[in-house]
A = this chain, B = another copy of it.
């Protein structure tokens, strides 16, 4: 576990360096936007999605460095979604990773624009030939990211989540909401290393299923931390889901039930990896790590 934490930290460091490099620089008057983008992205975070890109690329012998642009693009989209989710008109969160959220640190308008610019930058990065010399590969990355992030993916899930505040979802509805809100993007992150490596469609599909199950496990442990963790430990306000009457697996199954569900999903995720043999060991360790994390 200590070793795996070091592997995660090393990848996160490389991703942070790459993101810093890819973010806009310049003495322009609109530097406030660039400052806010940098503040948003470089303020820490688990870098789960970039790690999925890197570790799935590893299966096909891609070096970490070859995966960094895609990893950064995926994290930019995740970061944008958090900035918009935190807005007063959405979840109204003041704290994220122990720091003031972007609209608190800057202002609401800057937060809206920061999210917009990060989302756009992600597509610009993927479309650039530095990401892959093969335009079909870049195209598949752009198309996959757009599908995962859009109205039939993350944004649709966010809409459903807001709607559910006043119209409680049943278990199937909650599962669907979470699949859209976080599952599709995590599935894409898992698939992305395979896309970049021109893996066969079936291999890509296996990676998606792996990441999908892992993402659900991750979401449940997130909800558990919201219930059980302190704000200090978790780095954001806790107990908010319950206060907002949010439909979570924890609310439906209780703490023990949710913990069992996360464990089951983690094992199920790992089972998908059998197909890849030893090359998937990093992803196997990730399955273990996700259900045992404390922040």
Q: Is A162 in contact with chain B by the CB < 8 A criterion?
A: yes
- Contacting residues of chain A (29-49) with chain B, CB-CB under 8 angstroms: 29-30, 32-34, 37
In the bound assembly, the distance between CA atoms of A156 and B37 in angstroms comes to 11
Task: Report if A117-B155 is in contact (Cβ < 8 Å); known contacts: A123-B123, A123-B146, A135-B135.
Answer: yes
Q: Is the CB of A110 within 8 A of B159?
A: yes
Q: Is A150 in contact with chain B by the CB < 8 A criterion?
A: yes
Binding stretch for chain B, among A2-10, A136-144, A186-194, A218-226: A136-144
In the bound assembly, the distance between CA atoms of A134 and B231 in angstroms comes to 51
> Which B residues lie within 8 Å of A167 (CB)?
29
Count of chain A residues with Cβ under 8 Å from any Cβ of B?
57
> Which B residues lie within 8 Å of A115 (CB)?
116
In the bound assembly, the distance between CA atoms of A126 and B115 in angstroms comes to 21
Chain A interface (Cβ within 8 Å of chain B)? 24, 26, 28-30, 32-34, 37, 80, 84, 87, 89-90, 107-110, 112-113, 115-117, 119-121, 123-124, 126-129, 135-136, 138-139, 142-143, 145-147, 149-152, 155-160, 162-163, 167, 169, 173, 180
